[in-house]
């Protein structure tokens, strides 16, 4: 049965009358006040109604509080036991979640209830809706300008062991044998005992971890043979081939091994692929098959992050994370730009200008983003040799026609056809040029030709723009997103999670981003309040001073009135506006 509270109706005497003014001030300057006033009512409770019945069954826990708990747990990087403890005893949490009773019915939470709610949100992909409801509300409350945004990615390590190739083979085979013994004991018992002991005996794990480097290839070949034997032995048993652990055996063999035929015996021969031949999206650990590998950052996942920024240094508006997307670590940042733009545009938070590094700013991405009405500000990937001349050094017209080479020589002929362009220079002119060896022109029948296309022209224009002070002045604000990545790590612990699998990792990372938005919004609101109080204090000081003048120096008071100054009914000092 569905149970929700009416959080819109205000309490006559206040929900926490036992709180003194000092403790209440502490709560009102924390994230709890912001969460209670603006976020709690926006949580998408209606999205989970279909999992419960309106009349039948035991009443659920208060659903607004449960969804809020999902955010607060990730926001503060708590274990399940810690989150339940905070839910039961933390007064700040009670204020934020509008838990006004100390009874077990409202303040106590069973671990299974927490697990069930997390499973519902994960399986139905509702954690994304939860993030959007929080972010969209904060953007509306604080009038966040989303026209300027910056993108980057952060690496995430899931709760899996980092295995080498030997450990990967041994653990995958061990996992299969354990599952086979548990579910198909009859088939397990017919296996060779020596093979079973090799992977399931107590000393087997230490045995594979103490392999000498000189013997690693031989050990891998032995593991590959065992892997091939198991896949072939059980391939005709449907009850085994349907097991997830058996599918991992098949995947591991395809990614890491090569099946050949021995010319002498004509029997199948298993060989191990070299490290370079193994794809980056290969299996990294049988306990987390969704994880990938990045040559720079390692194994795990990565989270694509989009956030707002303001180039005006004197003005410090609220910076919000507008979108997050989690993927395996082997994915390139180049494929993340357009999905991030489209996702924010669908929610009305789309940018007009995006700062990103060179991987995001490929020419194809810039063209697609331009069609969506977004300008990408990013360096061109790759750098030409400092001594070499490029198309950017030639003088081009708006129609992409070469007017002159870097040495000022004019081409004798230009040609354009279907986005491809050619400029021909005289043979003698180029042969006598002092920079001929640095020039990209190629010899032809009628002269030296420079061939290029529209893409090369666009890249040349971007390279030329990169050298301008205007580009450097604007692009320097991209570095600010590194502070966001640091905040995500320090405040929410996003880099090292307690879960495995892309769904669980996405759940945690997405709600941690929502939590960081709450931290930032609370800090921004406190800063605004402090500045407002400081201005009021300065003004009151000026008013008091003028009031003293009014009382003690009547002559000065009369002179001020003659000059156009006056006092209102509250004895506040005012100045008339002069045309």
Task: For residue range 159-208, list pLDDT tens digits in order.
Answer: 998 888 898 999 999 999 999 999 999 999 999 999 998 888 876 666 67
Where does the pLDDT of residue 413 fall: very low under 50, low under 70, confident under 90, or very high at 90 and above?
confident
Structure letter (DSSP) for residue 550: H
Q: Does residue 73 have a pLDDT over 90?
A: yes
Where does the pLDDT of residue 460 fall: very low under 50, low under 70, confident under 90, or very high at 90 and above?
confident
The neighbour count for residue 309, using CB atoms within 10 Å, is 19
pLDDT number for residue 428 = 82
CA distances from 184 to 232, 246, 529 (A): 17, 12, 66
83 burial (CB, 10 Å; 0-12 / 13-18 / 19+) is buried
Q: What contacts 24+ positions apart, CB below 8 Å, involve 479-485?
A: 480/150, 480/309, 480/319, 481/150, 481/151, 481/152, 481/305, 481/307, 481/309, 481/355, 482/152, 484/152, 484/305, 484/307, 484/319, 484/321, 484/516, 485/152, 485/154, 485/305
Where does the pLDDT of residue 535 fall: very low under 50, low under 70, confident under 90, or very high at 90 and above?
confident
Q: Does residue 442 have a pLDDT over 70?
A: yes
What are the sequence ranges of the domains in the chain? Answer: 1-124, 165-277, 391-462, 526-575
pLDDT number for residue 571 = 47
CB 1 within 8 A of CB 52: yes
pLDDT number for residue 549 = 54
Strand 321-328 with 298-308, pairing: antiparallel
Where does the pLDDT of residue 544 fall: very low under 50, low under 70, confident under 90, or very high at 90 and above?
low
Pairwise CA distance, residues 17 & 8, whole Å: 19
pLDDT number for residue 72 = 96
CB 341 within 8 A of CB 350: yes
pLDDT number for residue 546 = 59
User: Please, which residues have CB within 8 angstroms of residue 294's CB and are 6 or more apart in sequence?
Assistant: 155, 280, 300, 302, 329, 330
Task: For residue range 240-280, list pLDDT tens digits in order.
Answer: 999 999 999 999 999 999 988 877 777 888 899 998 899 98
Closest residue by Cα to residue 168 from 110, 133, 211: 211
Pairwise CA distance, residues 459 & 452, whole Å: 11
pLDDT number for residue 564 = 63
Task: For residue range 20-60, list pLDDT tens digits in order.
Answer: 889 888 998 999 999 999 999 999 999 998 888 888 888 88
CA distances from 317 to 49, 156, 523, 528 (A): 37, 29, 11, 10
Question: Alpha helix locations (H) across 98-163?
Answer: 104-107, 111-123, 127-141
Look at the block and give the residue holding tokens 């070499």. Answer: 388
Where does the pLDDT of residue 331 fall: very low under 50, low under 70, confident under 90, or very high at 90 and above?
very high
Task: For residue range 472-526, list pLDDT tens digits in order.
Answer: 999 999 999 999 999 999 999 999 999 999 999 999 999 999 999 999 999 999 9
Where does the pLDDT of residue 437 fall: very low under 50, low under 70, confident under 90, or very high at 90 and above?
confident
CB 516 within 8 A of CB 488: yes
Task: For residue range 380-412, list pLDDT tens digits in order.
Answer: 887 766 667 888 888 888 888 888 888 888 888
When mean pLDDT is compared over 4-18, 67-81, 466-480, the highest value belongs to 67-81
Q: Where are the beta strands (DSSP E) in 102-241?
A: 148-156
Q: Does residue 555 have a pLDDT over 70?
A: no
Both tokens of residue 210? 């103490």
Please list the residues that pair with 299 across neighbouring strands: 293
pLDDT number for residue 291 = 93
Both tokens of residue 424? 């021909």
CB 87 within 8 A of CB 69: yes
Q: Does residue 569 have a pLDDT over 70?
A: no
Closest residue by Cα to residue 380 from 395, 370, 366: 366
> How long a stretch of residues is the chain?
579
Pairwise CA distance, residues 4 & 301, whole Å: 36
Number of H helices, E strands in the chain: 23, 16
Mean local confidence (pLDDT), 533-539: 75
193 burial (CB, 10 Å; 0-12 / 13-18 / 19+) is exposed
pLDDT number for residue 188 = 92
Task: For residue range 285-313, list pLDDT tens digits in order.
Answer: 999 999 999 888 889 999 999 999 998 87
The neighbour count for residue 26, using CB atoms within 10 Å, is 12
Task: For residue range 363-381, list pLDDT tens digits in order.
Answer: 999 999 999 999 999 998 8
Pairwise CA distance, residues 30 & 72, whole Å: 13
């Amino acid at each position: 049965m569905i149970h929700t509270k009416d959080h819109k109706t205000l309490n006559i005497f206040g929900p926490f009358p036992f709180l003194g003014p000092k403790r209440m001030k502490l709560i009102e300057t924390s994230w709890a006040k912001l969460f209670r006033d603006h976020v709690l009512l926006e949580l998408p409770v209606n999205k989970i109604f279909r999992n419960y019945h309106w009349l039948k069954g035991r009443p659920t826990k208060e659903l607004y509080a449960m969804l809020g708990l999902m955010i607060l747990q990730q926001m503060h990087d708590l274990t399940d036991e810690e989150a339940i403890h905070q839910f039961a005893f933390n007064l700040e949490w009670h204020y934020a979640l509008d838990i006004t009773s100390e009874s077990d019915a409202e303040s106590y939470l069973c671990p299974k209830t927490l697990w069930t709610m997390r499973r519902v949100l994960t399986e139905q992909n509702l954690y994304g809706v939860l993030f959007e409801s929080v972010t969209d509300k904060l953007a509306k409350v604080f009038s966040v300008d989303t026209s300027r945004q910056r993108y980057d990615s952060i690496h995430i390590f899931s709760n899996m062991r980092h295995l080498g190739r030997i450990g990967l083979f041994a653990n995958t085979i061990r996992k299969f044998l354990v599952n086979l013994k548990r579910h198909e004991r009859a088939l397990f018992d017919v296996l060779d005992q020596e093979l079973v002991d090799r992977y399931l005996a107590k000393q087997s794990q230490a045995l594979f971890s103490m392999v000498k480097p000189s013997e690693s290839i031989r050990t891998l070949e032995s593991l590959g043979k065992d892997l091939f034997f198991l896949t072939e032995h059980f391939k005709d048993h449907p009850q085994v081939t349907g097991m997830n652990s058996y599918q991992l055996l098949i995947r591991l063999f395809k990614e890491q091994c090569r099946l050949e035929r021995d010319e002498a015996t004509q029997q199948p021969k298993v060989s191990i692929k070299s490290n370079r031949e193994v794809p980056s999206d290969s299996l990294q650990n049988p306990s987390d098959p969704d994880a990938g590998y990045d040559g720079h950052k390692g194994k795990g996942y990565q989270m694509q992050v989009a956030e707002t920024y303001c180039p005006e240094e004197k003005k410090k508006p609220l910076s919000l994370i507008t979108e997050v997307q989690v993927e395996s670590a082997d994915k390139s940042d180049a494929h993340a730009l357009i999905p991030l733009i489209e996702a924010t545009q669908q929610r009305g938070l789309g940018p007009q200008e995006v700062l990103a590094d060179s991987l995001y700013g490929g020419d194809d991405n810039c063209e697609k983003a331009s069609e969506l009405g977004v300008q990408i500000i990013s360096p061109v990937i790759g750098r030409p040799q400092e001594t070499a001349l490029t198309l950017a050094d030639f003088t081009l017209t708006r129609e992409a026609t070469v007017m002159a080479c870097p040495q000022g020589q004019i081409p004798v002929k230009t040609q354009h056809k279907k986005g491809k362009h050619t400029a021909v220079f005289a043979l003698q002119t180029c042969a006598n040029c002092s920079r001929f060896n640095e020039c990209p022109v190629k010899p032809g029948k009628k002269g030296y030709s420079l061939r290029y296309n529209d893409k090369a022209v666009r890249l040349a224009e971007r390279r030329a723009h990169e050298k301008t002070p205007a580009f450097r002045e604007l692009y320097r604000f991209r570095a600010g997103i590194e502070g966001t990545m640091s905040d995500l790590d320090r405040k929410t612990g996003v880099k090292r999670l307690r879960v495995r699998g892309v769904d669980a990792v996405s759940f945690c990372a997405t709600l941690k981003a929502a939590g960081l938005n709450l931290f930032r919004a609370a800090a921004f609101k406190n800063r605004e309040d402090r500045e407002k109080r400081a201005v009021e204090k300065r003004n009151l000081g000026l008013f008091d001073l003028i009031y003293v003048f009014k009382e003690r120096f009547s002559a000065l008071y009369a002179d001020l009135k003659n000059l156009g100054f006056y006092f209102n009914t509250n004895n506040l000092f005012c100045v008339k506006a002069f045309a």
